Amino acid sequence: MKKTVFLGAFTVAGLAAAAAAAGTMDDVKARGKLNCGVTTGLVGFAAPDANGEWKGFDVAVCRAVAAAVLGDASAVEFVPTTGKTRFTALASGEIDMLARNTTWTFSRDVDLKFEFTGVNYYDGQGFMVPKELGVSSAKELDGATVCIQTGTTTELNLADFFRSNNISYEPVPIETNAEAQQQYLAGACDVYTTDASGLAATRATFENPGDHVLLPEIISKEPLGPLVRHGDHEWGDVVRWTLNALISAEELGITSANIGEMSAGTNNPEINRVLGTEGTLGEMLGLDAEWSKRAIAAGGNYGEIFAQNIGEETPIGLARGLNAQWTEGGLLYSPPFR
């Protein structure tokens, strides 16, 4: 979600190069806390609960990294960022990693000097409209007012879609998801467009979710995932393989319930390497042997995190779809632990 166009690319790239040179893992260990950039609030993905505790699908990735590096899943400072502020916060070193519905694109990877460490949610841009509008397809939205987050490539996708279908629209600029929700419900726009997962999460917070429809069109590819600064490869490896550990754990049947038993050793060498009872993978990362065990224990494997925060039994109600394991027809696939 919030796919920012690269304004001030040279400035951001310069900040990133300077911050990366500092050695992020050493900074995190010395500080005793991970500074993790998240969204300003998207229920199911990253939002504070009634007690002010951050929870969600993306929050779980931050906590897993903190557990792996610091041995404490609660040793995280969550830094809310908008579509406009997130990249500057990462480039400047204000945050150590970004985990907030950010799409992996060429320009962000190459020109802005960031390193995406994997995909934790395969998504695509969609549209939400009030049911009473009587619309069943985005191609019927000629002349509609559309709430759109400013400074994002969502704007570009939207313009391309309407242009290619020879229809027009009037943009209603907004800064955050909370503002979009307010404007949409107030009738300031006919349509809200962002990643389909974000629309589902937003709709789940409405008083009457059934009064709003997600249209069938998905108009883009949005591989969402955590990212770090270019040049700090040691830190990038830690974040990348922490995510891979959560994904591999689900494939291998390692859960929050059985991880203690499996840590005693199994007949499966891959499980043993993931949990650190065999091999020296932790040492290669500059961590101890149980880094991955702690990451998985923090919130469970990928499937557990998905089900608890955004799955079909939650108000958000997302099916696994493309985010199912590769063995189940999805795209989720971790490189081997060996």
pLDDT of res. 5: 43
pLDDT of res. 22: 52
Beta-bridge partner residues of 98: 37, 227
Query: How many other β-carbons are positioned within 10 Å of the β-carbon of residue 304?
Result: 19
pLDDT of res. 6: 42
pLDDT of res. 35: 98
pLDDT of res. 150: 77
What are the C-alpha distances in Å from 101 to residues 19, 95, 123, 171, 218? 22, 16, 9, 22, 16
Task: State the helix-helix crossing angle for 24-31 and 57-70, rounded to 10 degrees.
Answer: 80
Task: Retrieve residue 42's tokens.
Answer: 């998207």
Task: Extract the residue ranges of the chain whose pLDDT is less than 70.
Answer: 1-22, 151
pLDDT of res. 15: 54
**Class of residue 158 by CB neighbours under 10 A (exposed 0-12, middle 13-18, buried 19+):** buried
pLDDT of res. 78: 98
pLDDT of res. 154: 87
Residues 64-91: b if buried by 16+ CB within 10 A, e if exposed: bbbbbbbeebebbebbbbbbbbbbbbbb
